[in-house]
């Protein structure tokens, strides 16, 4: 892991945040809806550890890679999952400790914030509004309903496009996430990533991140100095 105090000294002009595993502990709602989805499809329900692997990457991809489904099977499963998640799982989550105060401080400092998540944008917006966090974000970007935009690199691209339209200075932009998908998606656009340890990634996923933080206070010091 990288020592953040010696490697991150930049003043950021814009910050992108992931949602699941970064701002909110959303795994309970996601994995319970996934379990009900597999049961409804008459398939064996994966173990809790296996279900956790689905949290983070675009779900359509995970259903094919982890679940061994064809494209058509994955899209059918995705529809079943989303119907259950919208009704039962979306709000079965909690804001991680210290995150609300962190977002308040960054917002007060005048640094533009954007959400960049592979979760459907309508659900991401609903979750941020439910927890009273939407007010801190200039842009909320997520996946499209048809999954044509779901890869993290594509979501980041759309977030940057929307920020650019608002006249935001993107010269020193940083991504904050918890999985390798965040690192790779940001890197595709030349952006550095700070990873949080409280999310759903493994230590091996920190490769490529400029820093790894273990608390919201530590993250705050890297984002605000």
Concatenated DSSP letters of 106-161? HHHTT--EEEEEEEEHHHHHHHHHHTT-GGG-SEEEEE-TTSSS-SHHHHHHHHHH
In whole angstroms, what is the distance from residue 57 CA to residue 64 CA? Answer: 12
Note the maximum CA span of the chain.
52
Crossing angle, helix 99-108 and helix 216-224, to 10 degrees? 10
Nearest to 18 by CA among 79, 132, 106, 99: 99
Q: Which residues are catalytic?
A: 18
Q: CB–CB of 84/33 below 8 Å? A: yes
Q: CB–CB of 38/195 below 8 Å? A: no
């Amino acid at each position: 892991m990288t020592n953040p105090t010696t490697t991150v000294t930049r003043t950021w002009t814009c910050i992108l945040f992931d949602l699941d595993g970064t701002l909110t502990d959303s795994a309970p709602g996601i994995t319970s809806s996934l379990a009900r989805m597999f049961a409804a499809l008459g398939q064996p329900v994966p173990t809790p550890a296996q279900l956790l692997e689905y949290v983070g990457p675009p779900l359509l991809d995970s259903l094919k890679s982890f679940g061994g489904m064809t494209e058509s099977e994955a899209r059918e499963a995705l529809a079943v999952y989303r119907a259950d998640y919208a009704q039962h799982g979306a709000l079965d989550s909690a804001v991680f400790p210290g995150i609300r105060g962190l977002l308040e401080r960054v917002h007060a400092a005048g640094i533009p914030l954007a959400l960049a998540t592979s979760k459907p944008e309508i659900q991401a917006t609903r979750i941020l509004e439910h927890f009273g966090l939407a007010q801190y974000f200039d842009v909320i970007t997520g996946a499209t309903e048809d999954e044509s935009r779901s890869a993290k690199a594509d979501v980041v691209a759309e977030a940057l496009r929307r920020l650019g339209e608002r006249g935001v200075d993107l010269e020193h932009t940083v991504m904050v996430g918890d999985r390798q998908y965040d690192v790779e998606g940001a890197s595709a656009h030349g952006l550095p990533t700070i990873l949080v340890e409280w999310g759903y990634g493994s230590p091996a996923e920190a490769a490529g991140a400029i820093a790894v933080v273990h608390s919201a206070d530590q993250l705050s010091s890297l984002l605000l100095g």
